[in-house]
Amino acid sequence: MSALVSDTAMVLAAGMGKRMRPLTAAQPKPLVRVAGKALIDHALDRLVAAGIKRAVVNVHYLADALEAHLAERSDIQIIISDERNRLLETGGGLIKAKELLPDPFFCLNSDNIWLDGPKNAFADLSAFWDAETMDALLLLVPHKGAANYVGKGDFHMDATGRLRRRRSGRIAPHIFTGIQLVSKRLLRDAPRGPFSTNDLWDRAIEEERLFGLAFTGRWFEVGTPEAIRPTELALVDGC
């Protein structure tokens, strides 16, 4: 197994899951089942397979149900970052959990489903990581590798991996998979309360410290109920 630069991942699981309604009327989105398995278990299984030992999971919406589900796992250490009192969005969630996280740490959305390429995603990120030049390294997928995705893309990437945003009205070739490797330097001088990780990325772009890595596998956008069945069929076929 390839060496990893961190043994810990932050799993973002506190969102309201509005796009997944009505399936999230009585359960949090991470517990919606795809191919017989809760979304968050797809993500946690990938962490375990890669050799990651700890997962810090933030909770907010229907948190008791999610915590009870996570308590059933014994193959990875799970630490809860409790946002019951206030949903902090992606950036605020990272700041709240900061003291629970090493430097660097992996971060991923709890609704990620993907099929790895020749190496697993976390090994790929680790191999490309450069702590001297990077505040964050984002795993990106081209449009042809993003099943169920409807959109104009997120980033342009130069030959060194540095990223810049898609311009308004344009198409960008790279889509963020929701998986990244993060230096705690990215979290410095952060706003208080709820805010998006995009705010931190924008600063990193200005400082030329936001990088991307092209994913060699297959990634599935599972944001709505309509995306579940096509994803299940693709997983059965393994492509």
What pLDDT is recorded for position 117? 86
Is it true that domain 8-237 has CATH number 3.90.550.10? yes
* Helix and strand numbers, DSSP H then E, in the chain: 6, 14
214: β partners: 140
DSSP H stretches of helix in the chain: 39-50, 63-70, 89-96, 121-128, 197-206, 228-237
What pLDDT is recorded for position 170? 85
Helices 89-96, 197-206: axis angle to 10 degrees equals: 90
Q: Which pTM value belongs to this model? A: 0.94
For range 215-236, the mean pLDDT: 92
Residue 143 phi/psi, 5-degree rounding, is -55, -40
pLDDT band at 134 (very low <50, low <70, confident <90, very high): very high
